[in-house]
Amino acid sequence: MSKQKGVSAEEKRKRMLQIFHEKKEFFQLKELEKIAPKEKGIVEQSVKDVVQSLVDDGLVDSDKIGTSVYFWAFPSKTKHSKKRQLENVTDKLNDVNKKIKISQENVAAAKIGREPTQKRNEVLQRVAQLTAEEKLLLKKIQDYEVCDKMENESQIAIESANRWLCNIQCVVSYCEKKFSIDQKTLQEHFGIDPNMEFL
């Protein structure tokens, strides 16, 4: 006893299309579910899925009229569909070929004047040398920017130190007048360096 081999999904689609092309009529799904098993050996349970896949691919048309859904496909539809696909692919191929041609022309134009010569090699070496020098100079500029920042910070520190020295002198002078204490005693008592000077 030999087992009967199942029909492939692609074969089912071909057979279903044959029904539409041979009969050239409109069908409801329940009609197709009766015709397909008898005439084309498509299992009734798979008819709906096969028809839907053909509709999804644009090989079969469908429309709802009232509460019923009708399906149809004429032989010319497949021919026109394939012809449209071929035209679309041909148009895309032509566009790609045009772009390739333009790119090749641009590459050829860009190569003009860039032929490897002694002078061009010297210029390229000079460019590489100047690029390296530019990097060194940029590094130096960054170093100087750090120095400028430190100089600004140093200036702020000097101004702050001078302000504190002025404040200390004002307090010593006030205490000297208010409490009749001489400057030297105050400096010794509070640990103030008598030789402090403005920076």
Residue 2 has a pLDDT of 43
- 3-state percent helix, strand, coil for the chain, nearest multiple of 5: 75, 5, 20
Average pLDDT, the chain: 84
Beta-carbon-side half-sphere exposure of residue 82 (alpha carbons within 13 Å): 4
Q: Is the pLDDT score of 49 beyond 60?
A: yes
This prediction has a pTM of 0.39
Residue 1 has a pLDDT of 40
Q: What does the pLDDT look like over 167-184, one tens digit per residue?
A: 888 888 888 888 888 888
Q: Is the pLDDT score of 4 beyond 60?
A: no
Tokens representing 81 are 């569909």
Judge whether 174 and 138 are in contact, CB under 8 Å. Answer: no
Judge whether 186 and 169 are in contact, CB under 8 Å. Answer: no
Question: Within its chain, how far is the Cα of 87 from the centroid?
Answer: 32
Greater model confidence, 193 or 47 = 47
Tell me the average pLDDT across 110-114: 75
Q: What does the pLDDT look like over 74-84, one tens digit per residue?
A: 877 767 777 88
Residue 5 has a pLDDT of 61
Beta carbons within 10 angstroms of residue 32's beta carbon: 21
Tell me the average pLDDT across 44-66: 87
Residue 124 has a pLDDT of 85
Q: Is the pLDDT score of 98 beyond 90?
A: yes
What residue segments make up the domains of the chain, in order of their start? 9-73, 77-111
Distance CA 64, CA 71 (A): 9
Q: Percent of the chain beyond pLDDT 70?
A: 96
Greater model confidence, 112 or 67 = 67
Q: Is the pLDDT score of 100 beyond 60?
A: yes
Q: CATH number of the domain at 9-73, please?
A: 1.10.10.10
Judge whether 54 and 13 are in contact, CB under 8 Å. Answer: yes
Least-confidence region, from 13-17, 22-26, 73-77, 91-95: 73-77
- At residue 94 the predicted structure's pLDDT band, cuts being 50, 70 and 90, is very high
Q: What does the pLDDT look like over 19-32, one tens digit per residue?
A: 888 888 888 888 88
**Hey, is 74 helix, strand or coil?**
coil
